[in-house]
A and B are shown apart, each in its own frame.
Chain A
Amino acid sequence: QQQVKQSPQSLIVQKGGISIINCAYENTAFDYFPWYQQFPGKGPALLIAIRPDVSEKKEGRFTISFNKSAKQFSLHIMDSQPGDSATYFCAASMIGDSWGKLQFGAGTQVVVTP
């Protein structure tokens, strides 16, 4: 059973639009929430991460919004570009896990049309 539920499975957005991907979790022991970006033929790469003591983190056109009470977090891609077309995974790991094992969502395939 997946501990991090991700939606949608795929989305298509026009260039310049906003892509929004949502994730939800149940385990309140999670304390680190990264997003990974994967291009075809490549392994996932860390894009941006947040901890539950902040509600929002922004890096360039990528923003994580975090709602601790709702146990949800989301990735917003502003001004989406064709180069952002990739699969995006949310993930979470637990406080007290010495090895920092990540639990991943199912992934969202984003296609940005020109």
Chain B
Amino acid sequence: DVKVTQSSRYLVKRTGEKVFLECVQDMDHENMFWYRQDPGLGLRLIYFSYDVKMKEKGDIPEGYSVSREKKERFSLILESASTNQTSMYLCASKLQGERGYTFGSGTRLTVV
């Protein structure tokens, strides 16, 4: 089974801090995604990457950036964390051309 691992289960950060969320997949998937999950809003796409060093904005990219230097690793960066970025962050990956995603277990980020 493909495994998608998010490095932290819970994070608490202060307003204005630079925050890094890490995601690693072990099955050579080309496509990787970052979503945030909020009650009543479902999952909203922040950024995705279709290959190493390639990235595209999703529906809500403001305040975020990403990095993909290696195929297995996709990082989400909050340049200056704000309280409205308190959320559950989910990473997912899939093979190019396939439709089904494999999700990680999520990182619950609280910005105080």
Chain A interface (Cβ < 8 Å from any Cβ of B): 2, 6, 9, 32, 34, 36, 41-46, 49, 89, 91, 93, 98-107
Contact = CB atoms under 8 A, between A and B. Distances in A.
A13 B76 CA distance: 38
Contacts of A93: 99
B17 interface: no
Given A9-B40, A101-B48, A41 B105 contact: yes
B13 to A, nearest CB: 21
A8 to B, nearest CB: 12
A100 B104 contact: no
Given A43-B104, A44-B103, A45-B103, A106 B42 contact: yes
Contacts of B39: 107
Nearest to A31: B99
B42 A46 contact: no
24 contacts: A34-B99, A34-B100, A41-B105, A42-B106, A43-B4, A43-B103, A43-B104, A43-B105, A44-B43, A44-B101, A45-B103, A46-B100, A46-B101, A91-B43, A93-B99, A99-B31, A99-B48, A100-B31, A100-B94, A101-B33, A102-B101, A103-B45, A106-B41, A107-B40
B42 A104 contact: yes
Nearest to A98: B50
A100 B95 CA distance: 10
B42 A105 contact: yes
A99 B45 contact: no
A6 B100 contact: no
Interface string B22-58: 0000000001010100011111110010100000101
